[in-house]
């Protein structure tokens, strides 16, 4: 019983496997070295047994000057079938249906014809087959003077759709990664505006176009009505990609004319450019001397990789980190590129299907990803250097600003000293003289005028003294910041115009060494109190000045009229002066009205750390 069940399971697995495999049709091949055979002669040779079977459907002729004929004997299945020739670049193909006595040309297609002549819209050559009794199909394949690889299969519609979907998925993933890399390069170029990232974009873009051309998607979607360009697209985009690769490498690792490899690289770039130009102006030469051009492209490709490798070694000896990124990336591209080139040249052993189809593309993607890490490293280095430079510029600007403020303070002190010592003393003398005159003069009118003059001079003297103290708060130098503020509030309370309640915490340590800061703090507090006295009509004012570990906070609260005109409050000259001082010390100020009237002002100024 167990053996019977095992046989059933194996049978079911074989059925499932058969549903995903190609039909068991017979495929045969014959080489037409003179390229002169007719379909009738081909049929005779097939009947005579001159054809060789292709049991696996794989054929690698390498570089050839011959045409090849395929004969397909379809299976007896009634399911619709498709002959799939897995090569996107065949110059000419003729598809014949041969019955008992009749040979009919059904399709003529290839890269020499517009894409819409293909019977099935696919990057490969796909021909519908009707499984008829005693019918065979003849296919002429012409790719002389070029490298030829074939994978011939007969697939059902379902299997063909599944196969092409998988291949499209792989190409889509590779192309999607490439698009992301191009977008990343565009972001870097827009951000930094350096030609390195432009070369990177052009290199990846030309490589992408080469991928599309090589896989047949370019002819299918981009230039379907330009058969003359179908065969030129791959070598032209290959040449452009090599030039961009060299340009990008030189800028990426910082290679200059002083390098001994600069001139050889320049020569190789010129040869590649001339080769690409020759393809454009003399496309017939690509077909007549295709073996020469194929060898030239292989030589230029290897030369490009060798020059890049030795240039990187030169830079690595100079401790260039970017060269390490490039060396690792180029190693992957060299391995995959040589593998695929050898397969297409027909010099390899058994074909490796993935490498023969996606070798260079995979190497290009891996190389681009590694280079992207190198670009990101270079961008971060550039960003850090830029930030360091900006910090250095800001530091120098702050130093310059501090020197300007120190100069202002010195000038203010000089003016204050002159006002106090010169003008103040002179006004005091005048006041004394007038007082003496008043004591000796008996005329009533003169007495009144002289008395008024004395009052004016006394006012001038007080004003000059006030200006002097504002320009240079002498009390801070004599008694310290905290005592100077207390003295200011005490004098205000003595005037009986407003009751000032104050709380002062801290200011016992090194804060007094920050001369510019404490002088401006004194001026800010004095200006705030003056605003309360002049504009708020308040009877009480609470002021808190607190020194924290990392900042100084000032709070001014009154019971006055509050906010009547917000624009006037925040944009007045006095407030603007206060705001300018606070902004210089990177602080901030907030205004808020009280529910029962009055105004609350909060100020916070950070303290500089050592």
- Are 298 and 209 in a shared domain? yes
In this model, does residue 141 exceed pLDDT 50?
A: yes
The pTM assigned to this predicted structure is 0.58
Mean pLDDT of 352-362: 69
Boundary residue ending a domain (393, 423, 444): 393
Answer yes or no: is 428 within a domain.
no
476 band by pLDDT with thresholds 50, 70 and 90: confident
Read off the pLDDT of each residue in 370-374 and give the average, rounded to a whole number: 86
**Whole-number percent of the chain with pLDDT over 70:** 76
Contact 294, 146 (CB under 8 A): yes
Decide if 1 is inside a domain: no
Whether 414 is in a domain gets the answer no
298 shares a domain with 174:
yes
Q: Which residue has the higher pLDDT, 8 or 233?
A: 233
Do 336 and 371 fall into the same domain? Answer: yes
**b or e along 233-270 (b: 16 or more beta carbons within 10 Å of the residue's beta carbon)?**
bbbbbbbbbbbbbbbbbbbbbebeeebebeeebeebbe
Quick check: 210 pLDDT over 70? yes
Length of the chain: 610
The string of DSSP letters for 330-362 reads HHHHHHHHHHHHHHHHT-SSS--HHHHHHHHHH
Cα dihedral sign, 427-429-433-436:
positive
In-domain check, residue 145 = yes
CB atoms within 10 A of CB 120: 16
**By 3-state DSSP, what share of the chain in percent is helix, strand and coil, each rounded to 5?**
60, 15, 20
126 and 173: one domain?
no
**Which of 112-121, 277-286, 288-297, 525-534 shows the highest mean pLDDT?**
112-121
* 480 and 560 belong to one structural domain: yes
Q: How far apart are CA 490 and CA 500, in angstroms?
A: 8
pLDDT band per the 50, 70, 90 thresholds, residue 367: confident
pLDDT at 1: 42
Antiparallel, parallel or unpaired: β 540-547 and 588-593:
unpaired
Q: Does residue 122 sit in the same domain as residue 189?
A: no
pLDDT of residue 532: 87
Q: Is the pLDDT of residue 349 over 50?
A: no
Contact criterion met (CB below 8 Å) for 522 and 409? no
| CB-CB contact of 204 with 182 (8 Å) | yes
CATH of the domain at 139: 2.60.40.2380
| Residues 191, 120 share a domain | no
**Is the predicted pLDDT of residue 128 greater than 80, yes or no?**
yes
Residue 223 resides in a domain? yes
The average pLDDT across 503-528 equals 78
Closest Cα partner for 168 from 212, 204, 210?
A: 212
Mean pLDDT computed over every residue of the chain: 80
> Do 196 and 294 lie in a common domain?
yes
Higher per-residue confidence, 477 vs 535: 535
Q: What is the pLDDT of residue 247?
A: 92
> Final residue of a domain: which of 393, 418, 453?
393
pLDDT band at 570 (very low <50, low <70, confident <90, very high): low
Burial of 590 from C-beta contacts in 10 A (0-12 / 13-18 / 19+): exposed
CA distance 89 to 115: 12
Of 374, 393, 412, the domain-final residue? 393
Decide if pLDDT at 201 tops 50: yes
β-strand pairing of 26-32 with 67-73: antiparallel
DSSP codes joined into one string, 478-493: HH-HHHHHHHHHHHHH
First CA to last CA distance, the chain: 88
Q: Do 85 and 141 contact (CB within 8 A), yes or no?
A: yes
Asked if 181 and 324 sit in the same domain, the reply is yes
170 with 127, same domain?
no
Domain containing 498 — which CATH number? 3.30.565.10
Contacts 24+ apart (CB under 8 A), 97-100: 97/135, 97/137, 97/138, 98/39, 98/43, 98/135, 98/136, 98/137, 98/138, 99/132, 99/134, 99/135, 100/134
- How far, in Å, CA of 452 to CA of 473, rounded? 30
Instruction: Indicate whether 103 and 177 sit together in one domain.
Output: no
**Structural domain count of the chain:** 3
Q: Which residues partner with 81 through β-bridges?
A: 129, 156
- What per-residue confidence (pLDDT) applies to 2? 39
Q: Is the pLDDT confidence value at 211 over 90?
A: no
259-273 mean pLDDT: 93
Establish if 439 belongs to a structural domain. Answer: no
Q: How confident is the model at residue 527 (pLDDT cuts 50, 70, 90)?
A: confident
Query: Nearest 10 degrees: CA dihedral of 321, 272, 189, 337?
Result: -60
Tell me, letter by letter, the H, E, C secondary structure of 144-175: CCEEEEEEEEEEEHHHHHHHHHHHHHHHHHHH
- Structural domain includes residue 5: no
Would you say residue 302 has pLDDT above 50? yes
Rounded CA gap, 572 and 538, in Å?
Answer: 19
Task: Quote the domain boundaries for residue 600.
Answer: 476-610
Burial (CB count <10 Å: 0-12, 13-18, 19+), residue 226: middle
Higher pLDDT, 431 or 590: 590
pLDDT digits (tens, 9 = 90+) for 75-103: 766 567 889 898 888 999 999 999 877 89
Domain CATH code at residue 186: 1.20.1070
Between 56 and 310, name the one with better pLDDT.
310
User: Same domain, yes or no, for 197 and 299?
Assistant: yes
DSSP letter at 532? I
Q: Counting Cβ atoms within 10 Å, is residue 271 exposed (0-12), middle (13-18) or buried (19+)?
A: middle
H/E element, 411? helix 353-418
For residue 8, what pLDDT is reported? Answer: 40
| Weakest-pLDDT range from 113-122, 334-343, 349-358 | 349-358
What is the H or E stretch that residue 32 is in? strand 26-32
Give the DSSP letter of residue 113.
S
Residue 269 pLDDT > 90: yes
The 10s digit of each residue's pLDDT in 35-76 is 999 999 999 999 899 999 986 777 888 888 899 999 998 776
What does the pLDDT average to over 310-321? 89
SS3 1: coil
- Assess if residue 423 is contained within a domain: no
Give the whole-angstrom CA distance, residue 574 versus residue 589: 14
- Residues whose CB is less than 8 angstroms from the CB of residue 543 and which lie 6 or more positions away in sequence, other chains included: 489, 500, 501, 502, 503, 525, 528, 529, 554, 555, 556, 557
Phi, psi at 490, each rounded to 5°: -65, -45
């Amino acid at each position: 019983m167990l053996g019977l069940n095992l046989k059933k399971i194996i049978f079911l697995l074989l059925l499932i496997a058969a549903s995903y495999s190609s039909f068991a049709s017979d495929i045969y091949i014959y080489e037409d070295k003179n390229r002169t055979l007719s379909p009738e002669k081909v049929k005779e040779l097939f009947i005579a047994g001159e054809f060789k079977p292709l049991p696996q459907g794989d054929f690698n002729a390498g570089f050839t000057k011959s045409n090849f004929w395929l004969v397909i004997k379809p299976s007896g299945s009634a399911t619709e079938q498709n002959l799939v020739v897995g090569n996107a670049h065949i110059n000419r193909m003729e598809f014949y249906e041969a019955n008992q006595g009749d040979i009919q040309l059904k399709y003529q297609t290839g890269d020499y014809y517009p894409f819409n002549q293909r019977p099935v819209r696919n990057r490969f050559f796909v021909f519908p087959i009707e499984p008829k009794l005693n019918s065979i199909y003849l296919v002429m394949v012409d790719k002389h003077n070029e490298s030829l690889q074939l994978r011939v299969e007969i697939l059902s519609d379902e299997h063909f759709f599944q196969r092409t979907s998988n291949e499209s998925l792989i190409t889509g993933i590779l192309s999607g990664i490439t698009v992301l890399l191009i977008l990343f390069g565009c972001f870097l170029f827009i951000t930094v505006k350096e030609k390195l990232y432009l070369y990177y974009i052009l290199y990846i873009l030309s490589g992408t176009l080469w991928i599309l051309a090589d896989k047949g998607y370019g002819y299918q979607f981009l230039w379907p009505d330009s058969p003359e360009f179908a065969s030129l697209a791959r070598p032209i985009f290959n040449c452009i990609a090599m030039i961009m690769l060299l340009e990008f490498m030189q800028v990426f690792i910082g290679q200059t004319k002083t390098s001994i490899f600069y001139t050889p690289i320049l020569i190789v770039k010129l040869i590649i450019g001339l080769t690409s130009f020759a393809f454009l102006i003399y496309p017939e030469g690509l077909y007549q001397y295709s073996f020469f051009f194929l060898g030239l492209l292989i030589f230029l490709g290897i030369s490009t990789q060798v020059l890049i490798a030795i240039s990187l070694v030169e830079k690595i000896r100079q401790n260039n980190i970017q060269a390490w990124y490039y060396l690792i990336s180029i190693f992957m591209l060299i391995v995959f590129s040589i593998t695929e080139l050898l397969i297409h040249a027909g010099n390899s052993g058994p074909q490796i299907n993935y490498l023969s189809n996606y070798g260079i593309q995979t190497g290009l993607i891996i190389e681009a990803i590694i280079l992207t890490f190198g670009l990101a490293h270079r961008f971060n280095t550039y960003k850090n250097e830029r930030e360091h430079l900006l910090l250095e510029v800001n530091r120098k600007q702050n130093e310059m600003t501090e020197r300007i403020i120190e100069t202002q303070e010195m000038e203010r002190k000089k003016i204050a000293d002159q006002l106090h010592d010169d003008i103040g003393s002179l006004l005091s003398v005048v006041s004394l003289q007038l007082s003496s005159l008043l004591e000796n003069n008996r005329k009533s009118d003169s007495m009144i005028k002289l008395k008024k003059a004395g009052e004016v001079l006394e006012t001038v003297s007080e004003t000059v003294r006030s200006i002097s103290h504002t320009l240079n708060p002498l009390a801070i130098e004599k008694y310290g910041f905290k005592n100077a503020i207390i003295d200011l509030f005490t004098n205000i309370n003595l005037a009986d115009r407003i009751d000032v309640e104050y709380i002062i915490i801290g200011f016992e340590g090194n804060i007094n060494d920050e001369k510019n800061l404490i002088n401006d703090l004194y001026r800010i507090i004095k200006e705030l109190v003056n605003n309360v006295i002049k504009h708020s009509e308040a009877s009480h004012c609470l002021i808190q000045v607190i020194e924290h570990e990392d900042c100084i906070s000032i709070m001014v609260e009154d019971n006055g009229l509050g906010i009547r005109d917000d624009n006037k409050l925040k944009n007045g000259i006095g407030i603007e002066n206060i705001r300018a001082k606070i902004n210089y010390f990177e602080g901030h100020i907030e205004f808020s009205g009280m529910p029962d009237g009055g105004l609350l002002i909060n100020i916070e100024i950070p303290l500089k750390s050592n």
